[in-house]
């Protein structure tokens, strides 16, 4: 058996934020498998076969990649950001877990990438300086009530909260509901950042507070970062601000 599967995080979009290990793994690929826009981000020779699919076909995509590897192909399964953070790594291993025993003998490697939350945090200052959590607002794979309960618990625990998949055309109301839910748990003065397409040409950053936050500022390319009690804004002469979270937490 000579095939392999490399599950690769491409980073947040700027090629300078793609790791050398990811570049090396991509150079060995005979096939690229992934959500269409991510596959199209990769520059590859014409001999490399591109297998593009819709964003909701993760398990089918993973099975297809494993089948190609069983044929002796060297398959790169690509995700934006880090493949292990709401990416394809989990889907591939779920397919292996429930698939033919022969898939377990395949050479499968996960190549880490720069997650969007890390790129956004670096752009903003140091909002992840203390304890934090990362959540997806999508309810495609979990009930919405579970999302709301986790949000409330994270806010009560004092975590800085990073929200992936905050708002889409299919889910236009959920971010607004989530912000209203958090307003019950947190002071209105808590800083919030809407960080869109960080590192790309259409990058946009908006800093505000929980009281003033407007859900319509976000789309699926936006990461929403909600501060905690130890988070602060430092005003800058250009009208912007640094967003940071102190590592020191007072006893409660």
**Would you state the structure tokens that stand for residue 81, as one six-digit string?**
């950001």
pLDDT value of position 252 = 60
Given this model, what pLDDT does residue 56 score? 78
- What gap in Å lies between CA 101 and CA 94, rounded to an integer? 13
Identify the pLDDT of residue 170. Answer: 81
Which of 133, 121, 215, 208 lies closest to 171 in space, CA to CA? 215
Tokens of 211: 């009281």
CATH 1.20.1070.10 fits 4-114, yes or no: no
Q: Which of 80, 102, 86, 100 is nearest to 22 (CA)?
A: 80
CATH architecture of 117-245: 2-Layer Sandwich (3.30)
pLDDT digits 0-9 by tens, 15-25: 999 999 999 99
Using CB atoms within 10 Å of the CB of residue 9, give its burial: 0 to 12 exposed, 13 to 18 middle, 19+ buried: buried
Task: Give the pLDDT of residue 57.
Answer: 86
At 98 the pLDDT is 98
Closest of 106, 44, 33, 14 to residue 75, by C-alpha: 33
One fold for both 4-114 and 117-245? Answer: no
pLDDT value of position 249: 74
Mean pLDDT by 10 residues, the chain (252 residues): 92 94 97 96 96 90 98 97 96 98 97 96 96 93 94 95 91 93 95 95 95 95 94 94 89 62
Q: Where are the domains of the chain?
A: 4-114, 117-245
Q: What pLDDT was estimated at residue 1?
A: 57
Q: pLDDT tens digit string along 50-81?
A: 999 987 789 999 999 999 999 999 999 999 99
């Amino acid at each position: 058996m000579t095939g392999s599967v490399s599950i690769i995080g491409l980073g947040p979009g700027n090629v300078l934020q793609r790791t050398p290990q990811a570049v090396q793994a991509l150079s060995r690929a005979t096939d690229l498998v992934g959500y269409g826009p991510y596959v199209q981000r990769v520059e590859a020779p014409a001999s490399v076969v591109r297998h593009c699919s819709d964003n909701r076909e993760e398990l089918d995509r993973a099975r297809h990649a494993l089948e190609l590897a069983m044929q002796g192909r060297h398959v790169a399964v690509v995700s934006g950001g880090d493949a292990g953070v709401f990416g394809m790594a989990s889907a591939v291993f779920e397919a292996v877990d429930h698939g033919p025993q022969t898939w377990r003998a395949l050479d499968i490697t996960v190549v880490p990438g720069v997650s969007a939350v890390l790129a956004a945090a670096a752009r903003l200052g140091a909002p992840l300086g203390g304890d934090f959590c990362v959540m997806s607002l999508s309810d495609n794979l979990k009930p919405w009530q579970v999302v709301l309960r986790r949000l409330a618990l994270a806010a009560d625990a004092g975590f800085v909260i990073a929200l992936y998949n905050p708002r889409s055309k299919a889910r236009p109301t959920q971010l607004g509901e989530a912000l209203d839910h958090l307003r019950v748990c947190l002071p209105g003065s808590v800083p919030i950042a809407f960080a869109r397409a960080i590192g790309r040409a259409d990058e946009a950053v908006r800093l505000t507070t929980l009281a003033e936050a407007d859900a319509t500022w976000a789309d699926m390319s936006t990461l929403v970062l909600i501060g905690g009690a130890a988070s602060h804004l430092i005003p800058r002469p250009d009208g912007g601000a640094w967003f940071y979270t102190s590592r020191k937490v007072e006893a409660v």
